[in-house]
């Protein structure tokens, strides 16, 4: 019997309870709506012309999704800042969503310091730490999210309040209907993908069994799905301790597709996951269909997955949830604790040492 059908064995391996956080993602969505609706935005001026989201890892993906949510309608661009330095364009007319789950992310605090010196307005999103202290000292609007869990398992807390906040700042229509639909969708997915569902009826377990032991490439179409392929990649890396690549269409068609023309042995053994949307414009659909046909000639298998839901954002977040389950089951097949991040912890210790 595979470990994926041995619930007790999986629970022993998942010593820190990552599965419980995945199972309760719908509750994060509901709570995130409440947090975003409650934060006091009265001090925020409405003269900003850009939004910056300093963040790293699981604290940055919310910014990626915010950019995707606003892109179709908002005149204000959203840029995620992953690094120590805020770009020079950040200034008095920039709204900064400082996103650090722990509140102590070195890169985020450094970039935030530069942005504050430039006069940017700040809204803080954190469970506490130094960022929480700074928000209270400066009087910034502060969203305090529940702490004590890995940032990558806190997506509902690190994205939904941002989406609610920009709605309240008149940058988009209300996301409440979409978020309620999403919470319902997640609950149905949990019933189909959860630990107790046998592999024969569990799509996430089936995907994990196909993917284990193979080079992995995760692709998505442009739009709200662009951050989803990146999220799948990150979750597979952190939870399952496996390398994976990601890219998006149509840019894929201008470079990466040529890498399949003369594939090396590792490519012929690869699994390619292509995340798709039913509303792809005809020219994009033609690009992806043709690319899939070409890839099928070079790799072990191409698996196309289309999201469910009435809007692009609901479909994107539903696919993120599927990817979280897949990464968990890959961890089980690899025999590793999905919560443990030994390498990242070692790097953080090195940063602290370098800072004295």
Question: How is 179-212 classified by DSSP, letter by letter?
Answer: HHHHHHHHHHHHHHHSTTS-GGG-HHHHHHHHHT
* pLDDT one-digit tens code per residue, 121-131: 999 999 999 99
Would the pLDDT of 51 be above 80?
A: yes
Binning pLDDT at 50, 70 and 90, where does residue 347 land? confident
For range 19-34, the mean pLDDT: 97
Q: What gap in Å lies between CA 197 and CA 314, rounded to an integer?
A: 24
Mark whether 7 is an active-site residue.
no
**In this predicted structure, what is the pLDDT of residue 265?**
85
* pLDDT one-digit tens code per residue, 142-159: 999 999 999 999 999 999
- Residue-averaged pLDDT of the chain: 96
Of 92, 254, 306, 308, the active-site residue reads 254
* pLDDT one-digit tens code per residue, 63-113: 999 999 999 999 999 999 999 999 999 999 999 999 999 999 999 999 999
Binning pLDDT at 50, 70 and 90, where does residue 350 land? confident
Of 189, 238, 241, 280, the active-site residue reads 238
Q: Which domains, from first to last, does the chain contain?
A: 18-174 (3.40.50.10490), 196-334 (3.40.50.10490)
Mark whether 262 is an active-site residue.
no
The angle formed by the CA atoms of residues 194, 199 and 200, to the nearest 5 degrees, is: 125
Mark whether 348 is an active-site residue.
yes
Would the pLDDT of 356 be above 80?
A: no
Per-residue CA distances from 87 to 64, 81, 91, 96, 172 (Å): 17, 8, 9, 12, 25
Q: What gap in Å lies between CA 75 and CA 90, rounded to an integer?
A: 17
Q: Which long-range contacts (CB under 8 A, 24 or more apart) does 105-108 make?
A: 105/55, 105/56, 105/59, 105/131, 106/348, 106/351, 106/355, 107/54, 107/56, 107/82, 107/83, 108/54, 108/55, 108/56, 108/59
Q: Which of 93-97, 330-334, 340-344 has the lowest mean pLDDT?
A: 340-344
């Amino acid at each position: 019997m595979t470990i994926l059908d041995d619930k007790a064995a999986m629970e022993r391996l998942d010593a820190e309870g990552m599965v419980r956080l995945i199972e309760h993602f719908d509750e994060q969505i509901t709570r995130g709506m409440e947090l975003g609706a409650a934060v006091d935005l009265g001090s925020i001026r409405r003269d900003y012309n850009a939004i910056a989201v300093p963040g790293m890892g699981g604290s940055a993906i919310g910014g990626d999704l915010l950019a995707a949510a606003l892109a179709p309608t908002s005149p204000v661009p959203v840029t995620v800042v992953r690094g120590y330095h805020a770009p020079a364009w950040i200034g008095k007319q920039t709204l900064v969503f400082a996103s650090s789950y722990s509140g102590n992310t070195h890169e985020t605090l450094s970039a935030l310091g530069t942005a504050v010196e430039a006069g940017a307005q700040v809204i803080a999103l954190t469970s506490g730490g130094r960022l929480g202290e700074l928000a209270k000292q400066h009087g910034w609007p502060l969203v305090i999210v529940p702490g004590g869990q890995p940032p990558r398992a806190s997506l509902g807390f690190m994205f939904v309040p941002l989406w609610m906040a920009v709605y309240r700042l008149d940058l988009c229509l209300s996301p409440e209907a979409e978020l309620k639909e999403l919470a319902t969708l997640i609950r149905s997915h949990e019933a189909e993908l959860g630990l107790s569902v046998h592999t024969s009826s569990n799509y996430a377990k089936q995907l994990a069994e196909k993917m284990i032991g193979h080079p992995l490439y995760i692709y998505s179409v442009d739009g709200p799905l662009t951050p989803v392929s990146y999220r799948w990649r990150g979750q597979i890396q952190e939870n399952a301790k496996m390398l994976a690549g990601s890219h998006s269409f149509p840019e894929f068609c201008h470079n990466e597709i040529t890498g399949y023309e003369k594939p090396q042995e590792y490519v012929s053994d690869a699994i390619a996951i292509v995340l798709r949307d039913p509303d792809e414009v005809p020219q994009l659909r033609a690009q992806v269909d043709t690319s899939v046909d070409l890839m099928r000639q070079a790799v072990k298998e191409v698996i196309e997955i289309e999201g469910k839901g009435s809007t692009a954002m609901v479909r994107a977040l539903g696919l993120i949830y599927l990817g979280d389950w897949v990464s968990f089951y890959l961890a089980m097949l690899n025999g590793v604790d999905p919560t443990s991040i030994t390498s990242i912890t070692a790097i953080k210790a090195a940063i602290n040492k370098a800072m004295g």
